[in-house]
Amino acid sequence: MDKEPLINFIQNCLPVSKKTLSDIAEHFEEKTFAKNDYFLREGQISNDYLFLADGFMRAFTFDTNGNEVTTFFYPKNRVVFEASSFFMRTISTENIQAVTDCNGYSITFERLNMLFHSIPEFREFGRAMLVKEFSAYKQRTLAMINKSAEERYTSLMISNKDIFRNAQLKHIASYLGMTDTSLSRIRKESSKK
Amino acid sequence: MDKEPLINFIQNCLPVSKKTLSDIAEHFEEKTFAKNDYFLREGQISNDYLFLADGFMRAFTFDTNGNEVTTFFYPKNRVVFEASSFFMRTISTENIQAVTDCNGYSITFERLNMLFHSIPEFREFGRAMLVKEFSAYKQRTLAMINKSAEERYTSLMISNKDIFRNAQLKHIASYLGMTDTSLSRIRKESSKK
DNA sequence: AATAACACTTGCCATTTGGCAAGAAATCAT
DNA sequence: ATGATTTCTTGCCAAATGGCAAGTGTTATT
User: Which tens digits make up the pLDDT trace of B108-166?
Assistant: 999 999 999 999 999 999 999 999 999 999 988 888 877 889 999 999 999 999 999 99
- CA–CA distance from A101 to each of A33, A37, A104, A154, B9 (Å)? 6, 8, 11, 27, 45
Test A135 with B64 for CB contact under 8 angstroms: no
Which residues have a Cβ under 8 Å from the Cβ of B60 and sit 6 or more positions away?
B68, B69, B70, B71, B94, B95, B97, B171, B174
Q: Quick one: pLDDT at residue B100?
A: 93
Q: Which positions on chain C have an atom < 7 Å from some protein CB? A: 7-11, 16-21
CB B133 within 8 A of CB B72: no
Residue of A67, A141, A152 to mutate, interface with B, max B Cβ within 10 Å:
A141
A150 near A183, Cβ under 8 Å?
no
Give the residues across from B59 on adjacent strands: B72, B96
Chain B, 77 to 136: residues with Cβ < 8 Å from chain A are: 83-84, 87-88, 117, 120, 123, 127-128, 130-135
From CA A144, how far away is CA A28, in angstroms rounded?
36
Q: How far is it, in rounded angstroms, from Cα A71 to Cα A62?
A: 10
Q: Is the pLDDT of residue B96 over 80?
A: yes
Distance between B76 CA and the closest CA of chain A, angstroms: 22
Question: Residue B104's closest CA among B20, B186, B23, B25?
Answer: B25
pLDDT value for B193? 58
pTM of the model: 0.92
Q: What is the pLDDT of residue B69?
A: 93
Whether the Cβ atoms of residue A56 and residue A101 lie closer than 8 Å to each other:
no
CA distances from B49 to B12, B52, B93, B129, B171 (A): 18, 10, 17, 11, 24
Phi-psi region of A89 (alpha: psi -120 to 50; beta: other; left: phi over 0): left
Res B169 pLDDT > 90? yes
Q: What is the pLDDT of residue A64?
A: 78
User: Which residues 47-76 on chain A approach chain B with CB closer than 8 angstroms?
Assistant: 61, 63-65, 67, 69, 71
Domain over A4-120 is classified CATH 2.60.120.10: yes
CA B113 to chain centre: 20
Nearest CA-CA partner of B76 in B6, B136, B126, B127: B6
Strand partners, A80: A50
Residues within 7 Å (Cβ) of strand D: A 168-170, 180-181, 183-185, 187-188; B 148-150, 177-179, 181-182, 186
Question: B4-119 — its CATH code?
Answer: 2.60.120.10
pLDDT at B105: 97
Distance from CA of A2 to the nearest CA of B (A): 30
Q: Which amino acid is at B190?
A: S
Give the pLDDT confidence score for residue B1 in this predicted structure: 61
Q: Are B61 and B67 in contact (CB under 8 A)?
A: no
Alpha-carbon gap, residue B14 to B128, rounded angstroms:
10
Q: Alpha-carbon distance A98 to A35, whole Å?
A: 5
CA-CA-CA-CA torsion sign (B145, B149, B151, B152): positive
In chain A, where the domains are located: 4-120
Q: Is the pLDDT of residue B64 over 90?
A: no
Q: Which of B163, B165, B190, B189 is nearest to B174 (CA)?
A: B163
With CB atoms and an 8 Å threshold, state whether A117 touches B117: no
Identify the segments of chain A with pLDDT beneath 50: none
* C-beta atoms of A83 and B131 within 8 A: yes
The answer to whether A10 and A20 are in contact (CB under 8 A) is no
| Position B90 pLDDT exceeds 80 | yes
Chain A residues inside the 8 Å CB shell of B145: 63, 69, 144, 174, 177
Task: Look at B142 and A61 and tell me if their CB atoms are within 8 Å.
Answer: yes
Closest in B127, B138, B174 to A146, CB measured: B174
Over residues A105-115, the pLDDT tens digits come to: 999 999 999 99
What is the reported pLDDT for A126? 96
